[in-house]
Amino acid sequence: DTEVTQTPKHLVMGMTNKKSLKCEQHMGHRAMYWYKQKAKKPPELMFVYSYEKLSINESVPSRFSPECPNSSLLNLHLHALQPEDSALYLCASSLVRSINTGELFFGEGSRLTVL
């Protein structure tokens, strides 16, 4: 199994809603990442988890709250989002948090629209 699975694929939410994005991998990877990608732009790193611990938070607003319940799962909890938060949210994983051990495996993304 070489997949990173993200759900839901599409999400529409109002600014007062609370929702969550989910990511799952069963490759035994111990590093997991959330990226945000706006249209026609490269992905921007948001969070990095290494061995289920938050390693990096790239100054992301608190309305985005990551959670790593176990080594296979990564969630992104969303609350009080703004329309400018509409984007494709990509989850990725790697064997460990080290650039020289291999590639990032990306999921297909969750396309979020905030009304």
Partner 1 sequence: AQSVTQPDIHITVSEGASLELRCNYSYGATPYLFWYVQSPGQGLQLLLKYFSGDTLVQGIKGFEAEFKRSQSSFNLRKPSVHWSDAAEYFCAVGGSSGGGADGLTFGKGTHLIIQP
> What's the min distance (Å) between Cβ of 101 and partner 1?
9
Q: Which residues, at least 6 apart from 50, have a Cβ–Cβ distance to it below 8 Å? A: 30, 31, 96, 97
> What's the min distance (Å) between Cβ of 110 and partner 1?
10
CB nearer to partner 1: pick between 15 and 54: 54
Q: Tell me, rounded to whole angstroms, the distance of Cα 82 from its chain centroid.
A: 17
**DSSP 8-state secondary structure symbol assigned to residue 59:** S
Question: Residues 13, 27, 45, 60: which binds partner 1 (CB under 8 A)?
Answer: 45
Q: Binding to partner 1 by residue 103, rule CB under 8 A?
A: yes
